[in-house]
Structure 1
Amino acid sequence: MRYALIFQKEEEFIFKNVPERPVPSLLRGYSAPIRLDSDLTESDLYFLLANDSDEFNRWEAGQILARKLMFSLVADFQQQKTLALNTKFVDGLRAILQSTSLDKEFIAKAITLPGQGEIMDMMSIADPDAVHAVRTFIKKELAFQLKDDLLAAVTSNRSSEAYAFDHDSVARRALKNTCLAYLASLNEPDVTELALNEYKSATNMTEQFAALAALSQNPGQVREDALLDFYNKWQQDYLVVSKWFALQATSDIPGNVVNVQKLLAHPAFDMRNPNKVYSLIGGFCGSPVSFHAKDGSGYKFLGEVVLQLDKINPQVASRMVSAFSRWRRYDETRQALAKAQLEMIISANGLSENVYEIALKSLAA
């Protein structure tokens, strides 16, 4: 490794006795929040992903590659082409997973894909269906190709010791839980059994909730039983129940709007409690798949809830209606459906000024 310090706007560096073309690892150890454009090639980024000793730069290389990969696959999906995962990307993540020198918390972050919202924010016309399909494909394909490494990480990071809040313990849990989530996406019997075992044997709420989240990815009786069991165990803890609502609200399982509608009648939910509303209704609005469902069911659900909520707490209702504020970023079909709900809200009798103002601004945005 050679270091080069840059003091001028433009500088030239000549490396002697270097057998291969050097790959720059830029701004090593630099902590200021900046946005950097560079001419690093994909080959350079794959090299950094697999080898960079600066953990942030290694993570950044992976995120850039993941975003490029996702955009490329989104285009393929939209053109109905067969999706395929670049083997170099898989190999880069495998190298990170197999490392014995890297911090476990870093490994957990490095193998985590960019979120659906992040990718949609970078699109000229957001396509929730394509982004969701692509991210799901990548996650499952990584889980399939890295299954042995992921299983090894889960096994080696189990602990029967008492809960401890220190870096090593937090890092261990983060890595185990991230790997378990990947594996559960395969929805295979052996992996489901593994996740159930992790759920039942967890010695603390953090790991039990992570196992529940892993199981909740796939619809079915196992999911329903685990959710009910978790609620029965933690129903006296207000904050945990809020997390329980949010987990179900943000789910990407098909037709989740129906599940969220049912949860409105759950005895632990109270429309008069802002935090419960933020967990359930706000969580649902944060789901790119369910809220932006092509049939408009997510928009219709929110429109109806906003009118109910406005009679109870106009301030919270106005915050919920702001989920419509970016409706023009989507395709024409979704725009028409979202616009119809905003117009319905504005025309409602007895509407509060809070909600009217936000809805009107959203409509005109």
Structure 2
Amino acid sequence: NITGCPLAGVDAHEICDASPLALEANRFFEGNPDFYNLPRKFKVCITGCRVWCAYPEINDVGLTAIRRGSEIGFSLRVGGGLSTDPHLALRLNAFVRWEQVVPVLAGIAQLFRDSEILRENRERARMKFLFLKHGWSADSFQEELERRVGFRLDPAVPEQRPDDVYRDHVGAHPQKQPGYSYVGAAVLRGRISAEQMRRAADLADEFAGGELRTTNMQNLLVVNIPNRNVEQLAQGLEAVGLRVGASPFWRGAIACSGTEFCKLAITETKSFARWLVEELEERLPGFEQHLKLHVTGCPNSCGQHWIADIGIEGKKIKVAGRLQDAYYFCVGGAVGLHQSIARPIGYRCLASEVPDAIERLLQRYLQERLPGENLRKFFARHSDEELRECLAGRFLAAVARDASPGRVPHAVEG
């Protein structure tokens, strides 16, 4: 499962085109019997993208391009993952040279494969549990890795971690090819209709080179657009609901599959997320602060609520004897320069009450924020109790994140 930047070789600001390495690594692992029996899934990203759109912090292995003088190599992170036990990948003290990337990946995969302790409990079989449960550190991991590959890795060099809230390449941007640009369109909830897809393809044929690309945030890219055609193509995408100039709510919304298609889900998420975005756009039309708003239908965090400014996790609440969809709030998650796992703040409410709660929270932010203060910093300087009061409009005691679905103080009986 090897990913990279969908704009490799195109983005004018990339450090390098790392796609040849990603393809080489894929060829090495694909069909290789030495790695048929890994404990569980093994996610790798190799990217030369400056905004780290492949999210190395939540991959088992993240390789991000970096310069050492005139040489391009890679920073190395290991052990990232979310689900019920979130863990942001640890950076090793290593500068991985271009020619070392595949041997290093092989060594890490061998280490993972041979970790018998990870096979004792399937629910704790990801590589991150070496760090979460078994006492490993970045140093001990690197020591074992170097023993397996048979060479010492050069020391790490300073890197510039991105501070962007968004890593989605949405908007119109220059390519490295002179005279050309690419356009990224935000696809709400990752749901695109056949009509939208056909129209996007027609626009790519008419105004560009006919090539569409997708991102791991489920957005759509059109590449190789002559600069003179950018505005017409962007207008065409907007006309069918593929937003190039999306609001923070539209652009920052992520939703997992939910009960419609996932047997593990507790709540419906896709239609709910669309309704939530539409409500917030109508209620807060001038809101401009970059925002990640993630909806996940169960604790497994396919909606990545642990790394969102506002992440809500699906629950059930019993109202008048019937179970209804509800959401538990986590805030302050981020990756990059100020990375942090979102903190559960002890508040949950019915799904129907979520727009009211978020509106109250964001209105308080707009009223009380300090000069230049973003949402992450606002959340950090407020206690859980204060944030619950912002969401509910009144004081409320905390509830447990995994509380039973009975009557709770945060549910309104109806």
TM norm. shorter chain > 0.5: no
> What is the TM-score with the length of structure 2 in the denominator?
0.26
Comparing both structures, which one devotes a greater share of its residues to strand?
2
Comparing both structures, which one devotes a greater share of its residues to helix?
1
